[in-house]
Amino acid sequence: MSNTAALLLLAALVPAAGLASLTETQRAKAESLPAVTVPAPAEFFGAIDKVSRPDWAAFYRDPGPTSFPTRPQTAFNLGALVADGYIAVEAQDGQQVKNTGKDIVALARALGVGENVLARGKSISDFADKNDWFALREELEATTNEVRRAMADQRDEALSSLILAGAWMRSLQAGGRAAELSGEPSAASLLGQKELIAYLHGQLRDLPEKVRTGPVVERVGNAFASVGELMTVDGGGAPDLEQAGAIEAACAELVTQLGSK
């Protein structure tokens, strides 16, 4: 271990060896893996914290249903709940984290993968009792991956994609609101995630036609298209505060619509 520490201390700021730049084609051909390419909401919220220090408790939602008429809608809401969990962690509110954790397990049960995340739910509760925010962020991501892996095992990629969609729509809703409240242009610029949205949208477009044309997938896809458009800035710049407000509104509309039975 101490050898590793010593080696790290020898790290140096260097220009990396490699091509000086990538062409658009080379960039486009880069591989993508959902579990790595799609960031954890904790990364987004951490970046927001650095520029605006929002009152995260102000972003809580009223408790919603723990059952929904269809599996796609359930999956989307499970993702949104995961984002709520991250928000509660940012607020350092153990009870809220525990409440959200229970709802996550309830929705996972509704999807038939409750057993896979029961242990995670217990860990979330334990870490919340200990105010271990660091571990909670890791546990929330691990829980998401656990559910998504179970979905993949059941060959239900649509649900797996909808979990990510729900998490990011809810995260962008909170991020947009945080930017608006702070009035900080640098907070609004963190919403410049057009390529991430395009990737998430592309995952839905790649689903089999029967699934792709389902009402929930179609509605989420349309929302991705709108949000991607709102993130587009002439000259390749970052969104401003006005756009942040519009992004928040578009995401909030979808989260609210799909969050009710």
Partner 1 sequence: MTMKRGLRLLLLGFLLAGTGRAQDPVPSSPSQPESAPSLRARLLEFGGALANDGFRLRDAYWSGRLEPGRPRRLAVNLFAGNQYWFCAAVDAPEDRPAIVLYDPQGKIVRVLAHESPGLSAAGVTAAFTGRYVVQIETSRGPAADFCLLYLFK
Chain residues that interact with partner 1, rule: CB under 8 A: 1-2, 4-24, 26-27, 29-33, 35-40, 42-44, 46-47, 50-51, 134-135, 137-138, 141-142, 145, 149, 186, 189-196, 199, 238
CA-based torsion, 227, 211, 155, 256: positive or negative:
positive
**Whose structure tokens read 């477009």?**
205
CB 196 within 8 A of CB 38: yes
Using CB atoms within 10 A of its CB, is residue 119 exposed (0-12), middle (13-18) or buried (19+)?
exposed
CA-based torsion, 33, 36, 37, 41: positive or negative:
positive
Which CB atom, from 65 or from 192, has the smaller least distance to partner 1? 192
Which CB atom, from 72 or from 180, has the smaller least distance to partner 1? 180
Q: Tell me the backbone φ, ψ of residue 190, rounded to 5 degrees.
A: -70, -15
Q: Give Rg (Cα) of the chain.
A: 19
For residues 133 and 193, what is the distance between their CA atoms, to the nearest angstrom?
Answer: 26
CB of 155 to partner 1, least distance (A): 12
CB of 149 to partner 1, least distance (A): 7
Q: In this structure, what token pair is assigned to residue 82? A: 């995961």
Which CB atom, from 32 or from 260, has the smaller least distance to partner 1? 32
The amino acid present at 261, given as its one-letter code, is: K
Which CB atom, from 23 or from 210, has the smaller least distance to partner 1? 23
Which CB atom, from 67 or from 152, has the smaller least distance to partner 1? 152
Which CB atom, from 218 or from 229, has the smaller least distance to partner 1? 229
For residues 245 and 176, what is the distance between their CA atoms, to the nearest angstrom?
Answer: 6
CB of 214 to partner 1, least distance (A): 25
CB of 212 to partner 1, least distance (A): 23
